[in-house]
């Protein structure tokens, strides 16, 4: 520890002098250390301290096993301010240098252990000084100090702090690296020639590529040794001039011959020679910046050579050609054809276009040319109108023309070339043709028959009027499609081949009553046409397409076919009828007699059923009701028998009524008239209103036709059909009933349907439900009298209802059938003849 000195300065002569550290050493209380007071120190320590304190070189000493520390004034600045000074004096090394002890302790041990002295230059050893840990670089040596016994007792450190020099050197190295990086990344060729021999010390990739050499071939070699072909081209004089005078040299488009890619090549360069100065201002070399412009120079020369040829070509071109130069579009050259189009002579050459042809003002051409000059995009137009003053008259002309931008050697637009062809006659002819075509299209669209135009051998649909689209059941969206794509169903029917035959031969084709299968309304139909295919020709007589005229005659053909079939059947039957007429006449007379007797008996039965049978039943029911109401208590269990009697009587009454209906309908003697089935359904639904409400049924009725028949019988028909649909429902499923209608041609009737009256077509009315359904194997059985498929305990009824329906349809010249699956409902189909109902 430090204390005030009580010992005279001359008490220890080996501690005399030494400046600040000499004074601090003398004042230090050394008895607090393992060394004790200075009078007990060995002579080797005393001698070493005397040298350390009085030398001007930075020195530091560790002594003894505790490595007690000493240092001099020259070392003092290395410890900085607010750091280890002055506490480092007399301190143990491990306590003083904890931050670097792991680094320096092995070195101290090596020296104390008898090893050789250690020397390190610019060694980074961070120390704590100036209030912080700093990176400090040292050049130092560790040497052993031996005591009187010849053993190493201390380590003397002779050191110099080299932090500033190291940092300066690092900065210089960083600067050089940055310079080299800039040179390498420079967008131009850069090289550094050093000394009067112009040794290549730096060259980036671009200059190596320009020289056609690798880095190994040129670096650290004199320029004219690395590039011997450059000698004798004047570069030696230029380089010496810059090196000796310090004056920059700049050259543009200088020709240079170099050996590249195994052969001598002439190149052109823009380059600069700049002197390279050292820090003391002396010139040590030359920096070269170079840009190869061989392609640009070659291109410009080629352009210059071609311009002369271009002028000659323009003047001799077989089409109107001219050249506009600059943004003001100065007319540089124009051949006689172009001048003729403009109505001008050669006096306009050299003038801006706007001045030479003032009538262009207000027309689009000047603006288009300006846009071409700005964008660099060529412009073409065909059949464009231009108003020009020719022979003193302003007139409209039409041209096909193009504006093409021309580039100079720098890639900049410097001119626009125009080429033009006068197409006034063609355009006027096309306008007349279009007007004619427009009139033709109007005629086609308004024509009273189906017309279509097919272009090319592919038969692309070009025009079609509303009638032909209606015949095809298509819309105009098919225009533009080949007919085989628009109407694929005609493939294989021969009509495409007929169209191609007309196109190839030029001979028209016509045909009557031709059958075509077309997809109309979602299904294939047989359609009959009268057809005319006519070839279309252009102004040169070349066939360009086919015009189709079509007249649908389906109804006419079908009517004639039906008539022919009828006549054929008549002729076949006439002979047989003539042979049988006599026999049938006799049979008919007998049948008439039997029928009259049967009708009389049936009428008598109907009377008996309606009076003689019903009257006793009414009395049975009346007396039964009276017994139940007045004597029900006295009867006891007999009331149940009475109820059964009443139920049986009720069923009997219904059965008699149904039999009466069946017998009346079976005679077929009731009058007929036009009946609107919609009215019949309204009355039937009104009668069943309560039952519909009780079952929660929904009933949907489509539009129904008017038929020839008896309203009462038709009401009975639908009453039975709807009652069954409501009665035979599935448990837990609300009944859904639909009545729909569609027309069916006679030839399309199912084979099982045999109407009692022949007609060309029939109305098929379907009554569909979602009830219990039935097995179709029982289809014939359900229309027979007293036939039931379900027990009376499940579903009430007499088994006569569907038999009545069959009789009603027989009376009306039709038929009835059904289709069903168990659990999937049933559909009853009734067929009425489609007869024309006249107002009279």
Residues 623-627, mean pLDDT to the nearest whole number: 62
Establish if 839 belongs to a structural domain: no
Q: Greater confidence, 178 or 191?
A: 191
Flag whether pLDDT at 832 surpasses 90: yes
End-to-end CA distance of the chain: 150
Q: Which of 241-250, 413-422, 446-455 has the lowest mean pLDDT?
A: 446-455
Between CA 77 and CA 73 the distance in angstroms is 8
Q: Which of 300-314, 462-476, 527-541, 631-645 has the lowest mean pLDDT?
A: 631-645
Flag whether pLDDT at 131 surpasses 60: no
Domain-terminating residue out of 501, 536, 552: 552
For 233-271, write each residue's pLDDT tens digit.
Answer: 888 898 898 899 988 898 888 888 888 877 888 888 888
The pLDDT value given to residue 363: 94
Residue 521: helix, strand or coil by DSSP? coil
For 18-47, write each residue's pLDDT tens digit.
Answer: 888 888 989 999 999 999 999 889 998 888
Flag whether pLDDT at 612 surpasses 80: no
Domain-terminating residue out of 537, 552, 567: 552
Residues 771-776, mean pLDDT to the nearest whole number: 82
Establish if 751 belongs to a structural domain: yes
Residues 429-434, mean pLDDT to the nearest whole number: 80
The pLDDT value given to residue 415: 93
Whether 813 and 751 have beta carbons less than 8 Å apart is answered as: no
Whether residue 103 sits in one domain with residue 72: yes
Dihedral angle, C-alpha 510, 513, 519, 525, nearest 10 °: -170
Flag whether pLDDT at 388 surpasses 60: yes
Q: State the pTM of this model.
A: 0.30
Whether residue 287 sits in one domain with residue 303: no
Angle at 141 between CA 136 and CA 143, to 5 degrees: 140
Between CA 659 and CA 800 the distance in angstroms is 8
DSSP annotation of 92: B
For 42-90, write each residue's pLDDT tens digit.
Answer: 998 888 888 888 888 888 999 998 999 999 888 888 777 777 888 889 9
Q: Greater confidence, 826 or 133?
A: 826
Domain-terminating residue out of 528, 552, 576: 552
The pLDDT value given to residue 367: 94
Between CA 825 and CA 819 the distance in angstroms is 9
Establish if 654 belongs to a structural domain: no
Query: How large is the C-alpha radius of gyration of the chain?
Result: 63
Residue 88: helix, strand or coil by DSSP? coil
Flag whether pLDDT at 585 surpasses 60: no
Whether residue 726 sits in one domain with residue 807: yes
Whether residue 270 sits in one domain with residue 399: no
Establish if 401 belongs to a structural domain: yes
The pLDDT value given to residue 648: 52
Confidence category of residue 149, pLDDT binned at 50, 70, 90: confident
Residue 184: helix, strand or coil by DSSP? helix
Whether residue 540 sits in one domain with residue 562: no
The pLDDT value given to residue 471: 86
Confidence category of residue 419, pLDDT binned at 50, 70, 90: very high
The label of the residue with tokens 């003697």 reads 669
Residues 6+ apart with CB under 8 A from 468: 450, 451, 452, 548, 550
Q: Which of 390-394, 460-464, 599-603 has the lowest mean pLDDT?
A: 599-603
Establish if 341 belongs to a structural domain: yes
Whether residue 152 sits in one domain with residue 69: yes
Read off the CATH number of the domain in which 737 is found: 3.30.565.10
How is the chain split among helix, strand and coil, in percent rounded to 5?
45, 30, 25
Flag whether pLDDT at 520 surpasses 60: yes
Residues 120-127, mean pLDDT to the nearest whole number: 70
Whether residue 103 sits in one domain with residue 13: yes
* DSSP secondary structure of 736-805: EEEEEEEEEEGGGS-TT---SS--SEEEEEEEE--S----GGGTTGGGSTT--SS-TTTS---S-HHHHH
The pLDDT value given to residue 840: 39
For 642-674, write each residue's pLDDT tens digit.
Answer: 566 655 555 555 555 555 555 555 555 566 789
Whether residue 536 sits in one domain with residue 454: yes
Whether residue 576 sits in one domain with residue 532: no
Flag whether pLDDT at 177 surpasses 80: no
The pLDDT value given to residue 55: 87
Between CA 29 and CA 33 the distance in angstroms is 8
Distances (CA, A) of 605 to 431, 482, 599: 92, 74, 10
| Structural domain for 519, as ranges | 428-552
Burial class (CB in 10 A: 0-12, 13-18, 19+), 69: buried
Confidence category of residue 121, pLDDT binned at 50, 70, 90: confident
Between CA 514 and CA 499 the distance in angstroms is 14
Please give the structure tokens belonging to residue 599.
């009708």
Whether residue 125 sits in one domain with residue 67: yes
Flag whether pLDDT at 742 surpasses 50: yes
The pLDDT value given to residue 627: 63
Please give the structure tokens belonging to residue 732.
């837990």
Helices (H), 317-420: 336-342, 353-356, 365-375
- Please give the share of the chain, as a percent, with pLDDT higher than 90: 25
Whether 656 and 617 have beta carbons less than 8 Å apart is answered as: yes
Q: Which of 322-336, 438-452, 482-496, 685-699 has the lowest mean pLDDT?
A: 438-452
DSSP annotation of 611: I
The pLDDT value given to residue 765: 94
The pLDDT value given to residue 130: 57
Whether residue 119 sits in one domain with residue 43: yes
Residue 156: helix, strand or coil by DSSP? strand
Q: How many domains does the chain have?
A: 6
Confidence category of residue 628, pLDDT binned at 50, 70, 90: low
Residues 309-333, mean pLDDT to the nearest whole number: 85
Mean pLDDT of the chain: 81
- Please give the share of the chain, as a percent, with pLDDT higher than 70: 79
Residues 6+ apart with CB under 8 A from 374: none
Whether 163 and 127 have beta carbons less than 8 Å apart is answered as: no
Confidence category of residue 767, pLDDT binned at 50, 70, 90: very high
Whether residue 144 sits in one domain with residue 202: no
Establish if 174 belongs to a structural domain: no
Confidence category of residue 604, pLDDT binned at 50, 70, 90: low
Between CA 491 and CA 482 the distance in angstroms is 12
The pLDDT value given to residue 837: 54
Residues 202-225, mean pLDDT to the nearest whole number: 84
Question: Reading across the β-sheet that carries 118-124, which strands appear in turn?
Answer: 68-71, 59-63, 152-161, 137-146, 118-124
Establish if 179 belongs to a structural domain: no
Read off the CATH number of the domain in which 217 is found: 3.30.450.20
Establish if 71 belongs to a structural domain: yes
The pLDDT value given to residue 180: 63
Flag whether pLDDT at 512 surpasses 70: yes
């Amino acid at each position: 520890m430090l204390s005030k000195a009580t010992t005279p300065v001359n008490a220890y002569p080996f501690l005399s002098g030494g400046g600040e550290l000499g004074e601090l050493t003398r004042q230090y209380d050394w008895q607090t250390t393992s060394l004790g007071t200075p009078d007990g120190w060995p002579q080797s320590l005393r001698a070493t301290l005397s040298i350390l304190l009085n030398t001007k070189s930075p020195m530091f000493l560790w002594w003894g096993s505790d490595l007690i520390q000493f240092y001099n004034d020259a070392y003092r600045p290395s410890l900085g301010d607010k750091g280890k000074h002055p506490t480092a004096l007399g301190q143990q090394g491990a306590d003083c240098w904890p931050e670097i002890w792991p680094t320096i302790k092995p070195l101290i041990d090596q020296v104390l252990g008898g090893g050789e002295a250690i020397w390190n230059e610019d060694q980074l050893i961070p120390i704590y000084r100036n209030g912080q840990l700093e990176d400090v670089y040292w050049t130092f040596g560790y040497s052993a100090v031996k005591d009187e016994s010849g053993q190493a007792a201390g380590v003397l450190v002779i050191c110099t702090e080299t932090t500033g020099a190291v940092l300066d050197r690092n900065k210089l190295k960083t600067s050089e690296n940055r310079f080299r990086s800039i040179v390498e990344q420079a967008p131009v060729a850069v090289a550094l020639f050093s000394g009067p021999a112009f040794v290549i010390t730096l060259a980036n990739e671009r200059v190596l590529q320009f020289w056609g050499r690798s880095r190994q071939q040129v670096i650290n070699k004199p320029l004219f040794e690395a590039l011997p072909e450059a000698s004798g081209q004047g570069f030696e004089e230029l380089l010496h001039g810059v090196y000796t005078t310090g004056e920059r040299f700049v050259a543009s488009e200088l020709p240079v011959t170099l050996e590249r890619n195994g052969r001598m090549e002439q190149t052109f360069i823009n380059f600069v020679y700049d002197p390279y100065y050292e820090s003391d201002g002396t010139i040590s070399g030359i920096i070269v910046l170079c840009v190869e412009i061989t392609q640009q120079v070659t291109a410009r020369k080629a352009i210059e050579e071609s311009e002369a040829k271009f002028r000659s070509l323009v003047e001799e071109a077989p089409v109107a050609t001219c050249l506009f130069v600059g943004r003001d579009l100065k007319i540089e050259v124009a051949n006689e054809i172009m001048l003729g189009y403009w109505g001008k002579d050669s006096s306009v050459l050299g003038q801006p276009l706007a001045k030479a042809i003032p009538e262009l003002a207000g027309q689009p051409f000047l603006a288009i040319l300006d846009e071409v000059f700005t964008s660099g995009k060529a412009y073409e137009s065909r059949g464009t109108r231009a108003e020009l003053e020719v022979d003193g008259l302003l007139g409209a002309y039409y041209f096909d023309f193009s504006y093409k931008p021309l580039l100079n050697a720098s890639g900049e637009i410097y001119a626009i070339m125009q080429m033009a062809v006068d197409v006034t006659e063609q355009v006027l002819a096309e306008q007349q043709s279009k007007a004619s075509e427009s009139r033709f299209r109007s005629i086609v669209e308004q024509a009273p028959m189906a017309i279509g135009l097919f272009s090319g051998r592919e038969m692309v649909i070009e025009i079609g009027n509303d009638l032909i689209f209606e015949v095809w059941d298509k819309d105009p969206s098919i225009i533009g499609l080949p007919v085989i794509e628009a109407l694929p169903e005609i493939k294989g029917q021969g009509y495409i081949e007929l169209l191609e035959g007309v196109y190839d031969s030029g001979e028209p084709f016509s045909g009557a009553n031709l059958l075509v299968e077309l997809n109309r309304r979602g299904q294939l139909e047989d359609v009959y046409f009268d057809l005319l295919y006519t070839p279309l020709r252009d102004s040169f007589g070349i066939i360009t397409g086919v015009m189709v005229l079509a007249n649908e005659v389906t109804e006419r053909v079908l009517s004639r076919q039906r008539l022919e079939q009828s006549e054929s059947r008549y002729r076949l039957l006439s002979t047989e009828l003539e042979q049988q007429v006599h026999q049938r006449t006799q049979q008919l007379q007998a049948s008439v007699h039997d029928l009259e007797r049967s009708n009389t008996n049936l009428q008598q039965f109907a009377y008996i059923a309606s009076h003689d049978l019903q009257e006793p039943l009414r009395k049975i029911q009346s007396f039964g009701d009276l017994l139940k109401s007045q004597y029900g208590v006295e009867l006891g269990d007999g009331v149940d028998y009475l109820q059964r009697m009443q139920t049986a009587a009720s069923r009997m009454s219904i059965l008699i009524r149904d039999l009466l209906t069946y017998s009346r309908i079976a005679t077929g003697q009731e009058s007929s008239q036009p009946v609107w089935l919609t009215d019949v359904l309204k009355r039937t639904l009104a009668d069943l209103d309560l039952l519909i409400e009780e079952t929660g049924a929904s009933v949907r009725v489509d539009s129904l036709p008017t038929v020839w028949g008896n309203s009462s019988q038709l009401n009975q028909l639908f009453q039975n059909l709807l009652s069954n649909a409501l009665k035979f429902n599935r448990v837990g499923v609300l009944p859904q009933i639909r009545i729909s209608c569609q027309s069916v041609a006679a030839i399309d009737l199912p084979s099982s349907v045999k109407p009692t009256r022949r007609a060309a077509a029939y109305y098929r009315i379907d009554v569909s439900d979602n009830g219990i359904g039935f097995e179709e194997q029982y289809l014939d059985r359900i229309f027979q009298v007293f036939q039931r498929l379900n027990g009376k305990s499940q579903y009430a009824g007499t088994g006569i209802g569907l038999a009545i329906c069959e009789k009603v349809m027989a009376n009306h010249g039709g038929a009835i059938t059904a289709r069903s699956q168990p659990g999937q409902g049933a559909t009853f189909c009734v067929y009425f003849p489609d007869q024309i109902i006249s107002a009279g």
